[in-house]
Each structure stands twice: as structure tokens, then as C-alpha cells.
Structure 1
């Protein structure tokens, strides 16, 4: 019998790094890139089913697209209870957004300080290669030192957006399977 698991995915990063665009492109299966922008003022919720390869199981990702402006930080953190996976996003043309990744990661991890949360670091706007300030090496090093998997994408060009979400869904599924095996050994 197929299983459908629910995973709360907290998506964080500075304002204007493309969190909402990444979510909308993934949610629409790459058929929609938002042309008109409105600043996220709290948390926007989008839900998408992700099929787990080689099974009939799915993970229902509850994507909590969080506002990146500091003025909304207290409000936003109220929506972060019980996270299962984390996505930290930065803009490859912005050193400030990259420097802020540690702050965002710490804020989400503080919600469950004693639990390992699978996470990804997503470098967005790789289509702006001429203006790029943050190298792939710097992103990879930050991800490695913080226990994250590194991904690069361009929401605008709809390139490589899905990979990070599929990774998170699969990591969540693996943790679930490990817990099932642990419970079986206890009985």
C-alpha cells in the first residue's frame, strides 16, 4: 500500500533572492515564472506531491516560502514550528545574501536544536553569470561546512529548480524509513 508522507519545508534567505520564484516554478512543474513581484510579507504556503523513485510512495512537500525582510522575522518564525527540511537560498550576484545564509540557517535550526534536519543551500540567478560574485566553490564550501547539499539554479530560466526539492523529499523519506526500521527492532 503506497504511503504519503507530509514534510514541512522551510525556505529562507534574504529578500529578493528568488525564493518565491523557485517555489512557483517547482510548484507549476516549470510552466510558470512570476513576471510580477509582490514582496512576501509572512509565509506563503504551497504544496506539491513528490514521487519517491523505485517506490509507490510520495512525500507531500509543504513549502513555507518565508519573507526575507528583517522587519517580518518575528512573524515569520511563528510559522516555523516542527520543520522537517530546510532550504536556504541566496543570490549569486549578492554578497550580502550569501553572508546572511548562516543567520537564516541558525534561525531555522533553533526550532529543533536536537534534531538533524536535512537541508540544501541553493545558489539562485546563475543566469546572471556576468554579474556573479559568489563562486560555486564558495557556495559548496559553505554547504559542506554546514551539513547541507549544494545546488545551483536559475528560477528565471527554469533551470535545475527541481533537484533541490527532490533531494529534500528523498532525504525526508530516508529518515522516515530509518525510523520504521528502528521501531521494528524494538518490537
Structure 2
């Protein structure tokens, strides 16, 4: 049995639901924050994900980052050595979607020599009547940046686990590839 630890950076504009997603995932859907408190830096939580068809586990150390520019210098200090990336935008806010390129660039600048596995999440799927971002554009953005695209509703606990499970599995695949490379070099 192998236990791996992956640093997961969650980023996006303020009020897109990053904390709600993280808290809903972390609590297995038993906790959705009913009152909104702005994240003023980085909040960290850990959640273990068992990799299917193995006895191995990836511990996602999730860094839920503030989305306000005023906190960016503080947030950036906590972004060293990321393993995986999770970008979040609000499906009812085009500006939050357009900001994703800025957040992705900032995270990838932490490890420019490595392509980090990542996801793009359109949150607030429960606000379908106010939706302004159609799936086409985030899917194109995700594809062009090597990300996987998901749509979720933290409030309705809809598809919240899928992006995090995907990240854990991608991190595990990277580990397996590196382990195989080292083993083959030792022979």
C-alpha cells in the first residue's frame, strides 16, 4: 500500500464558490457553508482518495486560496511546489471565467518546468437560469491548457467529487510513470 501526498491549489476569483466546493468535498457532502465568509489568505484541508483497483491512496492537501487581489501576495507564498491545479469560476459570471487564464498563469509560474495536472470547474450549476458561460468556451479553454473540464454545484452537491478524484488519479499516474522510469534505469 502506497500513500502519496499531493498539494492541490484551488484558485479563482472571489465569490465563485471555491470554499464551498472544498468544504462540500472534504465533508463528503455533509457540510455546505450556509453563511459566506471571505477567505483571507489560504485555508488548508486534507482529504484521502483511494485509487480504484489498488490499495493505494492519494492525500490531497487542498489549499483553498483567496480570490481577492489584495490577498494575492500572501496567497502566493503558500503556492510553492504545487502538484495539481484546480481553477474555479462561476457559471453565471463571465468575468470570473476570463480570470481563469490569469490564475492558471500564476500557479504554473510556481513550477514552469513541469506541466501540472489540472481541472477547470464551472461552479453554481444550480443557477442554470442565470448562466452566462456556455460549456463551449470553458471546454475549449480547458483543452487548450491541458485541463479537464467539470461543471458542479457545491450547493446541490452535484458532481463535486469528480474533479478531485480526477486530480488524485492523475497525480497517481504521474507517480507510477516516475516509479517505472526509475525502476527501468536501475536495471
- Pair 1:174 & 2:173 matched: yes
Cross-structure match for 1:124: 123
Residues 43-54 of structure 1: pairs in structure 2 closer than 5 A: 43-54=42-53
Cross-structure match for 2:18: 19
- Paired residue secondary structure (1:63): strand
Cross-structure match for 1:91: 90
- Alpha-carbon distance between aligned partners in 1 of 2:112 and 2:18, rounded to the nearest angstrom: 24
**Aligned-pair distance for 1:140?**
0.5
**Aligned-pair distance for 1:147?**
0.8
- Alpha-carbon distance between aligned partners in 2 of 1:109 and 1:170, rounded to the nearest angstrom: 20
- Paired residue secondary structure (1:117): coil
- Alpha-carbon distance between aligned partners in 2 of 1:135 and 1:9, rounded to the nearest angstrom: 26
What stretches of structure 1 of length at least 5 have no aligned partner? Answer: none
- Paired residue secondary structure (1:127): helix
- Paired residue secondary structure (1:173): helix
Cross-structure match for 2:101: 102
**Aligned-pair distance for 1:36?**
1.2
Cross-structure match for 2:5: 6
Cross-structure match for 2:135: 136
Cross-structure match for 1:184: 183
**Aligned-pair distance for 1:159?**
0.2
Residues 157-168 of structure 1: pairs in structure 2 closer than 5 A: 157-168=156-167
**Displacement over 4 Å in runs of 4+:** none
Residues 61-80 of structure 1: pairs in structure 2 closer than 5 A: 61-80=60-79
**Aligned-pair distance for 1:138?**
1.1
- Alpha-carbon distance between aligned partners in 2 of 1:127 and 1:137, rounded to the nearest angstrom: 18
**Aligned-pair distance for 1:48?**
0.3
- Paired residue secondary structure (1:171): helix
**Aligned-pair distance for 1:116?**
1.2
| C-alpha distance after superposition, 1:74-125 (max 9, x if no partner) | 1100000000000000000001100100000000000000001000000000
- Alpha-carbon distance between aligned partners in 1 of 2:31 and 2:71, rounded to the nearest angstrom: 27
- Alpha-carbon distance between aligned partners in 1 of 2:131 and 2:137, rounded to the nearest angstrom: 12
RMSD between superposed Cα atoms in Å: 0.4
- Alpha-carbon distance between aligned partners in 1 of 2:74 and 2:184, rounded to the nearest angstrom: 42
TM-score (norm 1): 0.99
**Aligned-pair distance for 1:155?**
0.3
